[in-house]
């Protein structure tokens, strides 16, 4: 039996099954409309475009987008999921956004009147503190502004980032449909059933197409392979993070107390993220959305990352006791 009931949207297959199929484009339209609510007129229809975009010459670099589409008004959307932190994610997003800008050039006479371009990045990480983004707001919208007057200078190039770790609401706390979308993108594979407050037509369809047991054999193989890649990437990311922390701690000890304190603060942030993950799992169990078996299993996966006391504290909340033997691993 598959440990998850619903697909993970942060896998390549899961993301494209939800948002990248012609039969499900109403889901993408609704998500984009909620994302842009109050900023633009609603999207009525859209057309999927090839995700591989070649440069103007054979020497130009090519770009492969997760999703690429145009609306009935002619505006362009690039939508991507990004699992691991990327040092140059802003540069990468801007680079990708230039392809639909350049593709609008016409043969013969042309007045340079461009359609709008939106590059949307759904991130499973947060920008660093020097990025200029809010420490509280999940959504960041970047446009060209006059640096003197601060007024909008140009509105046809839009970079939109969603820093998903900043979204911490439970499903009971979600008020807008956009918040419900954020909740599902973040928590869908953790759920055992559809939360009562999310029982709207658009989300009912989402849960139906996301249910793993309803996949045929070929679909399941594709999803399993996609999930394996997701696990491998996550494992590589965690390994690199752990090595980076160890190196940073040693550098802190060598370079003095001040830098050591900074490293300690960074480690404190990681503990805070772990605490948030554990609290989300506990709330899902308490609300009846996830079984005790699945909740405890997912918490135990977090053992061995340097904060076992915190994990065991939450396991006790579930009524479980657990000891950790460093030599042999975990023993119930």
pLDDT exceeds 80 at position 174: yes
- Rounded average pLDDT over 241-268: 53
Give the domain-ending residue among 162, 190, 217: 217
Residue 200: which residues within 8 A CB-CB, separation 6 or more?
A: 177, 180
Cβ proximity of 42 and 33 under 8 Å:
yes
Which pLDDT score, from 0 to 100, does residue 132 have? 65
Strand, coil or helix: 145: strand
Does 305 reside within a domain? yes
Same domain, 196 and 267: no
Same domain, 207 and 285: no
- Rounded average pLDDT over 66-71: 93
Same domain, 57 and 142: yes
Does 60 reside within a domain? yes
Same domain, 51 and 167: yes
Q: Which residue has the higher pLDDT, 177 or 250?
A: 177
pLDDT exceeds 50 at position 113: yes
Same domain, 187 and 275: no
pLDDT exceeds 50 at position 92: yes
pLDDT exceeds 50 at position 257: no
Q: Which residue has the higher pLDDT, 88 or 234?
A: 88
Bridge partners of residue 70, in order along the sequence: 47, 76
Does 26 reside within a domain? yes
Bridge partners of residue 158, in order along the sequence: 118
pLDDT exceeds 70 at position 157: yes
Which pLDDT score, from 0 to 100, does residue 261 have? 44
- The number of angstroms, rounded, from the C-alpha of 13 to the middle of its chain's C-alpha atoms is 14
- Rounded average pLDDT over 24-53: 91
Which pLDDT score, from 0 to 100, does residue 239 have? 56
Cα(298)–Cα(226) distance, integer angstroms: 20
The pLDDT confidence band at residue 305, using thresholds 50, 70 and 90, is low
Give the domain-ending residue among 187, 217, 247: 217
The pLDDT confidence band at residue 32, using thresholds 50, 70 and 90, is very high
- Rounded average pLDDT over 179-208: 95
Per the structure, the complete domain to which residue 211 belongs is given by 12-217
Same domain, 264 and 148: no
Q: Which residue has the higher pLDDT, 8 or 40?
A: 8
Q: Which residue has the higher pLDDT, 168 or 321?
A: 168
Same domain, 135 and 265: no
Does 1 reside within a domain? no
Same domain, 299 and 205: no
The token duo for 182 is 């954020």
pLDDT exceeds 60 at position 134: yes
Give the domain-ending residue among 184, 199, 217: 217
Which pLDDT score, from 0 to 100, does residue 84 have? 76
Which pLDDT score, from 0 to 100, does residue 49 have? 92
In order, the DSSP letters of 216-262 are: -HHHHHHHHHHHHHHHHHHHHHHHHHHHHHHHHHHHHHHH-HHHHHH
Packed helices 25-35 and 201-210: angle between N→C axes, nearest 10 degrees = 130
pLDDT exceeds 80 at position 181: yes
Same domain, 162 and 39: yes
Query: Minimal CA–CA distance to 18: which of 160, 194, 212?
Result: 212
Does 231 reside within a domain? no
Same domain, 68 and 144: yes
Q: Give the position of tokens 């990004």.
A: 82
Does 148 reside within a domain? yes
Q: Which residue has the higher pLDDT, 132 or 199?
A: 199
HEC letters along 25-62: HHHHHHHHHHHCCCCCCCCCCEEECCCEECCCCCCCCC
Does 222 reside within a domain? no
Domain count of the chain? 2
Does 42 reside within a domain? yes
Same domain, 142 and 16: yes
Which pLDDT score, from 0 to 100, does residue 133 have? 67
Which pLDDT score, from 0 to 100, does residue 144 have? 93
User: For 201-254, how does the pLDDT look when each residue is reduced to its tens digit (9 = 90+)?
Assistant: 999 999 999 999 999 999 988 888 877 765 655 555 555 556 555 565 555 555
Same domain, 64 and 210: yes
């Amino acid at each position: 039996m598959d440990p998850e009931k619903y697909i993970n949207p942060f896998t390549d297959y899961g993301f494209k099954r939800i948002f990248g199929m012609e039969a499900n484009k109403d889901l993408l339209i609704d998500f984009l409309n909620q994302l842009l609510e109050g900023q633009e007129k609603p999207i009525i229809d859209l057309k999927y475009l090839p995700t591989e975009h070649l440069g103007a010459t054979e020497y130009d670099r090519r770009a492969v987008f997760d999703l690429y589409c145009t609306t009935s008004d002619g505006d362009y959307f690039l939508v991507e999921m990004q699992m691991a932190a990327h040092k140059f994610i802003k540069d990468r997003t801007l680079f990708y956004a230039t392809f639909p800008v350049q593709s609008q050039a016409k043969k013969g006479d042309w007045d340079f009147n461009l359609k709008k371009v939106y590059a949307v990045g759904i991130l499973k990480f947060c920008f660093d503190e020097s990025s200029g983004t809010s420490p509280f707001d999940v959504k960041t919208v970047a446009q060209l502004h006059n640096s003197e007057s601060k007024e909008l200078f140009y509105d046809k190039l839009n970079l939109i980032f969603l820093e998903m770790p900043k979204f911490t609401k439970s499903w009971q706390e979600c008020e807008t449909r956009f918040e419900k979308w954020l909740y599902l993108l973040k928590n869908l594979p953790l759920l055992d059933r559809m939360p009562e407050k999310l029982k709207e037509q658009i989300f009912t369809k989402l849960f139906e197409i996301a249910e793993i047991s309803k996949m045929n054999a070929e679909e399941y193989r594709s999803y399993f392979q996609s999930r394996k890649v997701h696990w491998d990437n996550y494992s590589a990311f965690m390994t690199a993070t752990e090595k980076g922390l160890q190196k940073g701690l040693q550098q802190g000890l060598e370079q003095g107390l001040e830098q050591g304190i900074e490293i300690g603060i960074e480690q404190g942030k990681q503990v805070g993220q772990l605490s948030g993950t554990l609290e989300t799992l506990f709330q899902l169990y308490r609300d009846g959305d996830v079984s005790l078996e699945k909740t405890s299993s997912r918490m135990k996966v977090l053992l061995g990352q340097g904060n076992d006391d915190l994990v065991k504290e939450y396991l006790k909340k579930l009524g479980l006791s657990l000891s950790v033997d460093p030599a042999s691993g975990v023993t119930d």
